[in-house]
C-alpha cells in the first residue's frame, strides 16, 4: 500500500468566492447549486475560511461504521468510494466522520462525498487563487519504497539528524552498481565505513583522506571504465573536507571533468569532531572555535559559497538542495546521476545539524525549510546548456530572523550582526539572480 494524492486547502489564499463549490456541483449533479457541492467552504474573511471535504482517510471511520458495506477505500487510488446500490441511507457514515466529509445531499436524501473526480478534481481546477491544490502525497515514498535500502540498519547518527535520510535515499537512487567514497566526517561517523570489519553499506565503500577524495574516486571510476563496467562513482563528503582541505583536489577533478558525482552534505562546520568552524560556517555563528564571550561573538567572516565556485568550473551539473524539499532533491539527484556519466556533477545539500546548531531534535525539517523560506540558502541548478535557474524561487521571503531564532548558535547575535546577515542574504540573492539572468539572456 502506498500513500495517495489529496486535495490540500490553503486557508490564507481562500477569499470565499465559492467557485470550487459551483464547479463541484456542476460536475457532480449538473447544477451550480453550491449547497449540493461535496466541497463546502465555510467561515468568513474576518476569522478565516474553513473547509468541509472528505480527507480520504487512511483508516476511515465512515467505512468502519457503514452497516451495508457501501463504503470502501480503493487500494489503488486511495479514494473512499461510495456504492449507491448498497447504501441504505441510514446516515451512519456521517456519525463516523469528524469533518463532515460525507454528508446528506438534501435534494436526493442520500449521502454524497468527494470522489476526487478520477484524479482531476474540478474544484482544484476552478480555484482562481491556488487555495486548493492537488498534492501528490508521498510520490517519492510510493516510488522508492520498494527499492533496496543499501545502508545497513541502525546508523549511529545524533538524534534528529537528517543525514541518514539523505544517505539512504541517495543510495537507493544510485542503486547497487555504485562505488562510494566517504571521507572523514559525519557520514563515516554514522557508520558508512562500518563496524567490526563489515561495511555499513551494501555497495563497495572506501574511506579516503579529506585531501584526496575526488581524485581517488576519479581513479576508481577510470579503472572501471577501462575494464568496461558501468558504475556510478559517488562521494558523500562534508563541507569542511570539501571546502577547506579537500578543495584543491576537488577543484582539480572538476576541472578535468572526471565522471563522478560529488555530493556535499553541508552542515556548516566540522560537526563530528567537536563542532569547529569551516569556511562554510556562516557569519555570526557560534562554533567551538568561534566562541561567544566578552571579546568574540561568533564567526567574523562570511561563508564561502562553494556551489557557486563549482559553477565557475563549468561542471556538467551543479545544484543546491535541501532535505526539506525532497522532491526537488530527487529531481536534482536524477540529473546529477545522468550528468556524472558525462562528466563532473556536483550536488550541495544544506543539512541542518541538530547537535552543532543547537535546536530541538524534532526541528530539523523546520530549520531546513526556514533557511529556504528566508533565502538564507537558495535552491537552484546549473548546467552548461541550461545555465543557472532557481528551482524554488521564494517570492515573498521571511525576514532572516525567522531562521536565526530557530536555533541556539545565533542566540547571541546583536542587532548589527543580524542586519549584516540580512544584508548578505539580499546581496547573495542579487548575485545569484544576476547569474540566472545572464543564463537566460
Ligand X SMILES: Cc1cc2nc3c(=O)[nH]c(=O)nc-3n(C[C@H](O)[C@H](O)[C@H](O)COP(=O)(O)OP(=O)(O)OC[C@H]3O[C@@H](n4cnc5c(N)ncnc54)[C@H](O)[C@@H]3O)c2cc1C
Closest distance to ligand X from the beta carbon of 88 (Å) = 9
Closest distance to ligand X from the beta carbon of 98 (Å) = 17
What grid cell was written down for 362?
524534532
CB atoms near residue 140 (< 10 Å): 17
Q: From 57-65, 317-325, 354-362, 424-432, give the range in contact with other proteins by CB under 8 A.
A: 57-65
Question: Which of 1, 11, 135, 438 is the binder for other proteins (CB under 8 A)?
Answer: 11
Question: Which of 14, 54, 97, 324 is the binder for other proteins (CB under 8 A)?
Answer: 97
Closest distance to ligand X from the beta carbon of 91 (Å) = 8
Question: Which of 3, 90, 140, 398 is the binder for ligand X (CB under 6 A)?
Answer: 90
Is 61 a binder of other proteins (CB under 8 A)? yes
The one of ligand X, other proteins, none whose footprint includes residue 216, by CB under 5 to 8 A per kind, is none
Nearest C-alpha neighbor of 267 from the set 158, 351, 186: 351
Rounded CA-CA distance 81/86 in Å is 12
Is 145 a binder of other proteins (CB under 8 A)? no
Is 87 a binder of ligand X (CB under 6 A)? no
Is 94 a binder of other proteins (CB under 8 A)? yes
Question: Which of 43, 204, 386, 408 is the binder for other proteins (CB under 8 A)?
Answer: 43
Question: Which of 76, 106, 295, 395 is the binder for other proteins (CB under 8 A)?
Answer: 106
Question: Which of 23, 103, 349, 404 is the binder for other proteins (CB under 8 A)?
Answer: 103
Side-chain-side CA neighbours of 178 within 13 Å: the count stands at 24
- Residue 41 or 421 having the CB closest to other proteins: 41
- Residue 94 or 138 having the CB closest to ligand X: 94
Question: Which of 96, 176, 219, 343 is the binder for other proteins (CB under 8 A)?
Answer: 96
Q: Cell 486511495 identifies what position?
A: 78
- Residue 18 or 393 having the CB closest to other proteins: 18
Say which residues have a Cβ less than 8 Å from residue 438's Cβ, sequence separation at least 6.
387, 388
Closest distance to other proteins from the beta carbon of 50 (Å) = 4
Closest distance to other proteins from the beta carbon of 414 (Å) = 36
Q: Please state the φ and ψ torsions of residue 178, each to the nearest 5 degrees.
A: -135, 145
Give me the residues paired with residue 234 across strands: 180, 261
Nearest C-alpha neighbor of 266 from the set 162, 137, 196: 162
The one of ligand X, other proteins, none whose footprint includes residue 104, by CB under 5 to 8 A per kind, is other proteins
Rounded CA-CA distance 263/236 in Å is 5
Say which residues have a Cβ less than 8 Å from residue 231's Cβ, sequence separation at least 6.
177, 178, 179, 221, 224
Q: From 44-52, 272-280, 281-289, 312-320, give the range in contact with other proteins by CB under 8 A.
A: 44-52
Closest distance to ligand X from the beta carbon of 85 (Å) = 20
DSSP states along 267-317: -SSBTTTT-B--TTSPTT--BTTB-BSSS-BS--SPPP-HHHHHHTTT-SE
Is 69 a binder of other proteins (CB under 8 A)? yes
Is 104 a binder of ligand X (CB under 6 A)? no
Distances (CA, A) of 188 to 65, 147, 360, 439: 51, 23, 24, 37
Is 104 a binder of other proteins (CB under 8 A)? yes
Helix axes 163-174, 326-340, angle to 10 degrees: 40
User: Using CB under 6 A as the criterion, which residues of the chain lie in contact with ligand X when the complex forms?
Assistant: 90, 92
Amino acid at each position: 500500500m502506498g500513500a495517495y494524492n489529496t486535495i490540500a486547502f490553503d486557508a490564507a489564499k481562500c477569499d470565499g468566492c465559492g467557485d470550487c463549490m459551483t464547479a463541484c456541483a456542476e460536475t457532480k449533479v449538473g447544477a451550480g447549486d453550491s449547497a449540493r457541492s461535496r466541497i463546502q467552504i465555510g467561515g468568513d474573511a474576518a476569522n478565516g475560511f474553513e473547509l468541509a471535504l472528505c480527507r480520504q482517510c487512511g483508516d476511515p471511520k465512515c467505512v468502519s461504521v457503514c452497516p451495508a458495506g457501501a463504503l470502501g477505500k480503493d487500494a489503488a487510488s486511495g479514494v473512499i468510494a461510495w456504492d449507491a446500490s448498497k447504501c441504505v441511507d441510514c446516515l451512519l457514515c456521517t456519525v463516523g466522520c469528524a469533518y463532515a466529509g460525507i454528508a446528506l445531499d438534501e435534494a436526493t436524501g442520500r449521502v454524497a462525498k468527494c470522489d476526487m473526480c478520477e484524479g482531476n478534481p474540478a474544484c482544484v481546477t476552478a480555484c482562481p487563487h491556488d487555495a486548493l491544490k492537488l498534492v501528490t502525497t508521498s510520490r517519492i515514498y510510493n516510488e522508492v519504497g520498494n527499492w533496496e535500502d543499501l545502508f545497513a540498519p541502525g546508523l549511529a547518527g545524533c538524534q534528529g539528524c537528517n543525514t541518514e535520510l539523505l544517505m539512504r535515499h541517495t543510495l537507493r537512487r544510485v542503486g547497487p552498481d555504485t562505488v562510494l567514497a566517504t571521507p572523514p566526517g559525519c557520514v563515516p561517523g554514522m557508520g558508512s565505513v562500518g563496524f567490526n570489519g563489515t561495511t555499513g553499506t551494501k555497495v563497495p565503500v572506501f574511506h579516503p583522506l579529506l585531501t584526496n577524495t575526488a581524485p581517488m574516486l576519479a581513479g576508481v571510476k577510470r579503472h572501471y571504465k577501462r575494464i568496461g563496467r558501468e558504475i556510478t562513482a559517488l562521494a558523500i563528503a562534508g563541507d569542511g573536507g570539501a571546502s577547506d582541505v579537500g578543495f584543491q583536489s576537488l577543484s582539480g577533478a572538476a576541472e578535468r571533468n572526471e565522471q563522478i558525482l560529488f555530493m556535499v552534505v553541508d552542515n556548516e562546520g566540522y560537526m563530528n569532531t567537536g563542532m569547529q568552524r569551516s569556511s562554510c560556517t556562516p557569519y555570526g555563528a557560534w562554533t567551538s572555535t568561534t566562541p561567544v564571550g566578552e571579546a568574540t561573538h561568533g564567526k567574523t567572516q562570511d561563508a564561502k559559497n562553494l556551489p557557486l565556485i563549482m559553477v565557475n568550473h563549468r561542471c556538467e551539473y551543479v545544484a543546491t538542495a535541501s532535505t526539506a524539499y525532497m522532491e526537488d532533491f530527487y529531481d536534482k539527484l536524477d540529473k546529477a546521476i545522468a550528468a556524472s556519466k558525462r562528466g563532473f556533477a556536483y550536488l550541495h545539500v544544506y543539512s541542518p545539524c541538530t547537535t552543532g546548531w543547537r535546536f530541538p531534535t524534532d526541528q530539523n525539517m523546520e530549520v531546513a525549510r526556514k533557511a529556504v523560506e528566508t533565502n538564507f540558502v537558495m535552491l537552484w541548478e546549473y548546467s552548461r546548456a541550461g545555465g543557472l535557474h532557481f528551482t524554488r524561487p521564494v517570492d515573498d521571503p521571511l525576514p532572516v530572523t525567522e531562521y536565526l531564532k530557530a536555533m541556539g548558535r545565533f542566540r547571541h547575535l546583536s542587532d548589527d550582526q543580524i542586519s549584516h546577515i540580512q544584508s548578505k542574504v539580499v546581496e547573495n540573492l542579487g548575485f545569484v539572480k544576476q547569474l540566472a539572468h545572464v543564463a537566460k539572456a
